[in-house]
């Protein structure tokens, strides 16, 4: 790789780090934001939900827009929007402004995340060079996701909650300045000039937002509530209408449905949904276990995640070599089994446990599996996709990650809470029993992902030739 390509990779990885960091770092600051801005107990959740809804709902559109309107152009627009919205978050003095700024951040993130992956996919040659670049991109994304607790705790303790948003400003400015120099300019493809699938864009965006909205409300309303079933049902209907429009009516579809005919892309996205359903919930339950059962402070729990963060980086670094040697199928299956083993160890946590004896071994093995799995899944999702549709594949992969995480947390959280209510013993013992169930179910999800990868990515036997006389 040349020095210019290294700088390009560093630039897009910094942008991805900033966007993913914002998902986790805000959770640590929620109590401080509530007191500083004046949120009610019910309104505070919208600091998270406003970002999640716009981010999840616009990922497909953001990725496809990069294909149609130019990657460098959309990347710069997304970074600028995200950086400006971060400044608004930092100076927000009332709940309405904070929620609006968080929604703008989500829109910017929905553009940056798939576009950065599309730039990596289209800028590096297929094979060892691209696999290495995707490994770095994945490692940096994992670092952003798992370091939010540490960085957030340090910033809030020293500078107050606005610092978690201010930190995005120098990163954003640096990325914008570098992107003009290292990201090659590109024009929209000739076939889409003068036409944009507006109906498809509206349907897929509204559908994803409605489904995500229903899922994130399960924590407060329950799965059988009309406030959950209504949005989820409406979202699924909108997505079905989107499929009909793209397959039958659109002259130039926003999402050509033929991409879903690619077996490796379909399988990789399904595995990612299962992976994030298990692993995203794991981080949530580990945070609660360390603070509510082991008695660690928020900052101590944040530093407790440091070895787990390094395990993600190590796994992401090793994974490209495993793909080179054993292929996507072998590497992905091994990574999912590693994650399953770690979650199975965590299912043995107890009320009298300790960090070094129970959290560290299982958590490190699970996050090592996360790094080992995500790289081959990413390679599988974009391998063989045409260059002009790489943004679409990237948007689909990121949507699978986010929806998988939201769905897994909602389902496992509901089951863990219900189980805790029926356990005899002290409150701490009942709480821990719920965590045990959640970790065990997460392990089963990872095993299911390993089976999907092993079976559905199996090479097809060549068709026998029919010789006729």
- Highest mean pLDDT: which range of 127-141, 158-172, 246-260: 158-172
- Other beta carbons within 10 Å of 466: 5
- Res 403 pLDDT > 80: yes
Alpha helices in 245-262 (DSSP H): none
pLDDT attached to residue 178: 93
Residues 60, 62, 65: CA angle, nearest 5 degrees: 105
d(CA 262, CA 168): 37
Confidence of residue 258 (pLDDT cuts 50, 70, 90): confident
User: What does the block give as tokens for 337?
Assistant: 């089994």
Among 262-271, 338-347, 382-391, 406-415, the least confident range: 382-391
Of 434, 421, 407, nearest to 56 (Cα)? 407
- What is the rounded CA–CA span in Å between residue 133 and residue 9? 7
Higher pLDDT, 297 or 427: 427
Other CB atoms within a 10 A radius of the CB of residue 304 amount to 22
Helical pair 198-216 and 226-244, crossing angle rounded to 10 deg:
160
Q: Predicted confidence band at 468 (pLDDT cuts at 50, 70, 90)?
A: very low
pLDDT digits (tens, 9 = 90+) for 322-354: 999 999 999 999 999 999 999 999 999 999 889
pLDDT (average), residues 398-412: 87
CB 246 within 8 A of CB 198: no
């Amino acid at each position: 790789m040349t020095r210019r390509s290294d700088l390009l990779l560093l630039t897009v990885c910094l942008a991805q780090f900033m966007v993913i960091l914002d998902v986790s770092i805000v959770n640590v600051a929620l109590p401080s934001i509530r007191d500083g801005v004046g949120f009610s107990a019910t309104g505070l959740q919208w600091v998270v939900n406003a970002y999640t809804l716009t981010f999840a709902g616009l990922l497909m559109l953001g990725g496809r827009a990069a294909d149609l309107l130019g990657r460098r152009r959309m990347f710069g627009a997304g970074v600028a929007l995200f950086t400006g919205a971060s400044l608004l978050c930092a100076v927000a003095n009332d709940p309405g402004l904070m929620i609006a700024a968080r929604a703008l951040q989500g829109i910017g993130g929905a553009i940056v995340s798939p576009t950065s992956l599309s730039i990596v996919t289209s800028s590096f040659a297929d094979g060892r060079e691209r696999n290495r670049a995707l490994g770095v991109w994945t490692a940096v994304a994992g670092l952003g996701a798992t370091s939010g607790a540490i960085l957030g705790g340090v910033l809030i303790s020293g500078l107050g909650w606005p610092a978690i948003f201010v930190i995005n400003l120098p990163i954003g400015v640096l990325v914008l300045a570098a992107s003009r120099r290292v990201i090659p300019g590109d024009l929209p493809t000739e076939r889409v000039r003068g036409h944009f699938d507006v109906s498809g864009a509206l349907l897929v965006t509204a559908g994803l937002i409605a489904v995500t909205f229903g899922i994130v409300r399960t924590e407060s309303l329950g799965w059988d509530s009309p406030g959950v079933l209504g949005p989820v049902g409406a979202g699924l209907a909108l997505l079905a209408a989107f499929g009909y429009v793209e397959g039958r009516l659109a002259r130039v579809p926003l999402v050509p449905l033929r991409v879903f005919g690619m077996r490796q892309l379909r399988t990789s996205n399904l595995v990612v949904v299962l992976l994030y359903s298990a692993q995203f919930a794991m981080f949530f339950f580990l945070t609660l276990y360390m603070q509510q059962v082991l008695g660690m402070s928020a900052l101590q729990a944040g530093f407790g995640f440091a070895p787990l963060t390094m395990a993600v980086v190590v796994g992401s670094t090793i994974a490209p070599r495993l793909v080179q040697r054993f292929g996507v199928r072998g590497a992905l299956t091994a990574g999912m089994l590693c994650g399953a083993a770690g979650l199975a160890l965590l299912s043995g946590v107890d009320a009298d446990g300790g960090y070094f004896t129970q959290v560290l071994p299982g958590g490190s093995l699970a996050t090592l599996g996360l790094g080992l799995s995500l790289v081959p899944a990413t390679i599988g999702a974009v391998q063989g996709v045409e260059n002009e549709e790489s943004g679409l594949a990237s948007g689909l992969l990121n949507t699978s990650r986010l929806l998988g995480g939201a769905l897994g947390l909602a389902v496992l959280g509901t089951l863990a809470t219900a189980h805790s209510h029926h356990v005899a013993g002290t409150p701490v013992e009942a709480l821990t029993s719920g965590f045990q169930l959640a970790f065990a179910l997460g392990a089963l999800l990872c095993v299911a992902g390993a089976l999907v990868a092993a079976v559905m990515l199996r090479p097809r036997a060549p068709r026998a030739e029919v010789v006729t006389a």
